[in-house]
Structure 1
Amino acid sequence: MEKKILIPTNFTKHAWNTLVYALNFYKNIPCTFFILNTYEVPTRISLSKNQNTELEAAKAESEKGLQKILQGLKFRQENKKHQFETISRNEDLAEAIQECIDTHKIDLILMVSRGENVSINADFENEISEVTEKVENCPFLVLPEQMQELPESNREIVFPTTYKFPFKNKEIVALIEMAIYLNASVRILYINSDNRPLTKEQEQNKETLKTYFADIDFSFHKLTQTTLTMGVHLFIESRESNFLALYKRKQGFFSKLFSQRSKEDINFSPKVPVLILKELE
């Protein structure tokens, strides 16, 4: 089944590397890659001829950059079933992404975060945090700038959950598909900070996950006497896991992970790629 992947670009080498990563990631799968560039011209009090000129220049630069990317892609042969479409928009990035999702039925958004870590902390003002907060109905895969090569075997995706809320199957399809693409195991992690037994509702939600993950390798894990954030960090580092999957409910585990109760919570920035699953209606 063909996948539709959206990749925003600002024409930097890191944005190009994200595109190359996507081509390799989906090298055995038919895909249409939508490459998006947004540009904005500062608003002035009056619409002058000069402003219109700046707008046209920004548009031309955006379209020229996108064409340059297409030229570069002609030299790559990951998959002859890969197709590419470019999109240039004069609007806010989050708005442009949402428009693309609604128009083209995007399956996944790939973005790169600056630095060695993935900065997705909603308490800080940055592009990644803003976009993942505003955009709805589509999962994100956020990559660190310095991507480490995946091992040939024993690949793991860590999926923290509280079991407090039921998941819809369609909300975790992206996680299941990623595990299949990567031939990776999913490690479902429960942080039992208060050392209480699971409620009947939590047990039921845990059983439901078993049915969702029936076709992939998965296992349940529990940590006690640690915070949510520290527990996730320790688990990933101790096992040298390769990916982290976070479920972003409007009010739930994701927001708790980035609470401002302590400096340690605020500094949560994993060094592995992060798949952000979104709550769906």
Structure 2
Amino acid sequence: MIKRILLPTDFSANSNNAIHYATQLYKEEECQFFIFHSCYVPGYAKSNLLSLDNVDQTLIAAKAEAEKKMEALKTQPPFNAKNTNHTFEYLIEIGDLTDNLKEIIKSKDIALVLMGTRGETDSKHLILGSNAVVTMEKIRGCPVLAIPGHIKFKVAAEIVFPTSFKTTYKETELAALLEISKLANAAIRVLYIQKDIDFSKLQIENKAVLNQILAPTTFTHHKLYNQNLHNGVRSFVQSRDSGMIAFVNKKHNFFGSIFSNPMVKDLGNNTNVPILALHNLEH
């Protein structure tokens, strides 16, 4: 089955780096990549673009510039590489990035969004840029993998998966984690920041279910004590030189507490590894 992957770009070095990362990670897989640019012009919405009377020179110029940059992008690696496993489709849409992503994910049956963590307009001091954070929080149709701009593709030795064991995971929710673990030949390190002395019955049951789901991979369990969540994850990743962090995005709960400000800035500026946002299907 062909893997359909959406690669948003603002034509920055960071987004180009994410595109290279995607094509290397899936080098041996048959993939259709959708290179997508969301052309946002303040004051315009798709509902207002039903007639040419509503389209002025600002919008025309913005789209023309985006098309020019997209044509230039097509001439660069990896698009001119001879990998018969990969095909590319190029999309430019007017409007809000999140709305456009949701529409494309649905219409193109996208399995994964892979993007840079800091775009052209984001602060140079913030590794997790605003678009990456919003995408990880708002996009529910498929997993989102965010790649820091300075991270070049290399085989990740391990993927850190923090959990409280208070959620019953499903195979479909963790499918992308298992797939990337296999592609990168990376072990999964299940990390529990211990707050309670003993596991509840529910936590014991959920751990057993998680072990069954992760059985096709190499995985180990780890505990940290007396640390808050984001500091514990950060120190664990840094001490082991881990290659990726994966979270299940449970809104207003575990994942939300990590990626709500000011934790976004703290984790993003101190972790410097790709982040895989998975999704709790109950939401």
Q: Report the CA distance shift for 1:97/1:149 in structure 2 as closer, same or farther (over 3 A).
A: closer
Q: Which residue of 2 aligns with 1:161?
A: 163
Which one of 87, 91, 99 corresponds to residue 91 of structure 2? Answer: 87
Q: Report the CA distance shift for 1:42/1:230 in structure 2 as closer, same or farther (over 3 A).
A: closer
Which one of 98, 105, 110 corresponds to residue 102 of structure 2? Answer: 98
Q: Report the CA distance shift for 1:127/1:118 in structure 2 as closer, same or farther (over 3 A).
A: same
Is 1:22 the counterpart of 2:22? The answer is yes
Q: Report the CA distance shift for 1:149/1:134 in structure 2 as closer, same or farther (over 3 A).
A: closer
Q: Which residue of 2 aligns with 1:123?
A: none
Is 1:147 the counterpart of 2:147? The answer is no
Q: Which residue of 1 aligns with 2:81?
A: 76
Over the matched positions of the two proteins, sequence identity in percent amounts to: 35
Q: Which residue of 1 aligns with 2:121?
A: none
Shift of 1:268: 1.9
Mapping of 1:125-136 within 5 angstroms?
126-136=130-140
For residues 122-160 of structure 1, the C-alpha deviation after alignment (integer angstroms, 9 at most, x for no partner) is: xxxx22222222221211111111115536xx7000000
Contact 1:229–1:265 (8 Å) recurs in 2: no
Q: Secondary structure at the match of 2:75?
A: helix
Point out where structure 2 has 5 or more consecutive residues left out of the alignment.
Answer: 119-123
Q: Secondary structure at the match of 1:64?
A: helix
Q: Measure, in 2, the Cα distance between the counterparts of 1:176 and 1:84.
A: 25
Q: Report the CA distance shift for 1:149/1:24 in structure 2 as closer, same or farther (over 3 A).
A: closer
Q: Secondary structure at the match of 2:227?
A: coil
Q: Measure, in 1, the Cα distance between the counterparts of 2:153 and 2:98.
A: 30
Amino acid at match of 2:106: D
Is 1:209 the counterpart of 2:210? The answer is yes
Shift of 1:170: 0.5
Q: Which residue of 2 aligns with 1:37?
A: 37
For residues 31-54 of structure 1, the C-alpha deviation after alignment (integer angstroms, 9 at most, x for no partner) is: 00001111122328x999795222
Q: Report the CA distance shift for 1:117/1:187 in structure 2 as closer, same or farther (over 3 A).
A: farther
Which segment is superposed worse, 202-211 or 264-273?
A: 264-273
Is 1:107 the counterpart of 2:111? The answer is yes
Shift of 1:117: 6.7
Is 1:186 the counterpart of 2:191? The answer is no
Q: How many residues align?
A: 269
Instruction: Return the TM-score normalized by structure 1.
Output: 0.88
Amino acid at match of 1:119: L
Q: Secondary structure at the match of 2:267?
A: coil
Contact 1:118–1:273 (8 Å) recurs in 2: no
Mapping of 1:42-81 within 5 angstroms?
42-43=42-43, 52-72=56-76, 73-77=78-82, 79-81=83-85
Q: Which residue of 2 aligns with 1:175?
A: 177
Q: Measure, in 1, the Cα distance between the counterparts of 2:79 and 2:227.
A: 50
Contact 2:30–2:85 (8 Å) recurs in 1: yes
Contact 2:146–2:276 (8 Å) recurs in 1: yes
Amino acid at match of 2:184: L
RMSD of the alignment, in Å? 2.4
Q: Measure, in 2, the Cα distance between the counterparts of 1:249 and 1:233.
A: 19
Q: Measure, in 2, the Cα distance between the counterparts of 1:74 and 1:129.
A: 27
Q: Measure, in 2, the Cα distance between the counterparts of 1:142 and 1:180.
A: 18
Which segment is superposed worse, 3-12 or 250-259?
A: 250-259
For residues 147-187 of structure 1, the C-alpha deviation after alignment (integer angstroms, 9 at most, x for no partner) is: 15536xx7000000000011111111000000000000000
Q: Measure, in 1, the Cα distance between the counterparts of 2:126 and 2:199.
A: 33
Q: Secondary structure at the match of 1:172?
A: helix
Amino acid at match of 1:240: D
Q: Report the CA distance shift for 1:98/1:197 in structure 2 as closer, same or farther (over 3 A).
A: same
Point out where structure 1 has 5 or more consecutive residues left out of the alignment.
Answer: 121-125
